[in-house]
Amino acid sequence: MKKLIILALALSLMILLAACGGDDSGESEGSGSENTEAQPSAQEPIEFTDEEKVAEDESVADVNGTEIKGNEYNALYPQVKMSLQQGGQASDDQDQVKELTVNMLVEQELINQAAEEQGVEVTDEEVQSEYDMMEEQAGDQLASVLDQFHLTEEAFKNQLNDNLLTTKYMESEFDIEVTDEEVEEYYNQLTEQSDEVGELEEVEDQIREQLNLTKTQEQLQTELEELREQAEVEMLI
C-alpha cells in the first residue's frame, strides 16, 4: 500500500511556494529553455475533469457521524494530483487520487475532532492574518495560483484553518525533543556523505530543525493511526 500523503505536507504552503516560485524561475542559473518550460507549469490549471469531480453536497466519507462533503473533496483533489505529479507518481490514476484525497480528508477530520475535544481552536482573525501574510508574500500571483488549483478564496481559507488547527494541536499534544547527541549523530552522517557540510556550529540550527520536523511527522502519523483505530470511519465513494 502506498504511503499516504499526510497532513504534515501542508499543501497550502506548497501552493504559496508555487506562487512565489514563479518569480525565481526567470532568474535561475542554467539553461534559459529549462526555465521557460518550468514557469508555465506553475500557471496552467491542474486538469480537473467533470468525471473527477463529485457533487458539492455529496458525502464522500463519514467520521464518527460527521459527514465530509464533496466541496471539500473538490478543493483538495487537484492538490493531491499535483503532489503526485511532483513526486513522479501516476497522477492519471483517478482511483488512486480519489483514495488519497478521501484519506487526507478523513485524517484532517480526525485531527479536527481531537482538537475540539482538547479545546484547541483557531479564530477567523488568525486565518485572515495568515492569508494576508501569504498574499503579501505572493502578491498578485496568489490569486492566479488559487485558480491553478481550482480553489476559491473561501476554500483556501478553510484549508488554512485546518493547517493552523493541526499545528496548534501538535504544539499542544506532542512532546518533541531533539538532543545534542542526535544533532551530532546526524551531523556525522552528513560529513560521511560529503566534505562540504561545514562546521557543526554553522549547520546545527538547520539540523535541529530537520530532526524536529521528522519527529513531528512521525508522531503525527502515530497519532493519526491511533485516532483512526478508535474512530468509526466509513468511506462513501
- CA terminus-to-terminus distance, the chain: 19
Q: Look up the pTM and report it.
A: 0.81
Mean pLDDT of 17-39: 43
Residue among 164, 168, 25, 13 at smallest CA distance from 79:
13
Task: Report pLDDT digits (tens) over 50-93.
Answer: 999 999 999 999 999 999 999 999 999 998 888 888 777 777 88
CA dist 52 and 99 (Å) reads: 12
Q: Are 27 and 39 in contact (CB under 8 A)?
A: no
The whole-number pLDDT of residue 13 equals 52
Query: Does residue 233 have a pLDDT over 60?
Result: yes
Q: Are 192 and 185 in contact (CB under 8 A)?
A: no
Mean pLDDT of 13-23: 50
The whole-number pLDDT of residue 34 equals 42
4: its cell numbers: 499516504
Three-state secondary structure of 119-169 = CCCCCHHHHHHHHHHHHHHHCCHHHHHHHHCCCCHHHHHHHHHHHHHHHHH
CA dist 72 and 57 (Å) reads: 10
Residue 14 pLDDT class (50, 70, 90 cuts): low
User: Sheet of 233-235: strands edge to edge?
Assistant: 66-69, 59-63, 233-235
The whole-number pLDDT of residue 7 equals 45
Q: Which domains can be identified in the chain, with CATH numbers?
A: 7-235 (1.10.4030.10)
CA dist 58 and 96 (Å) reads: 19
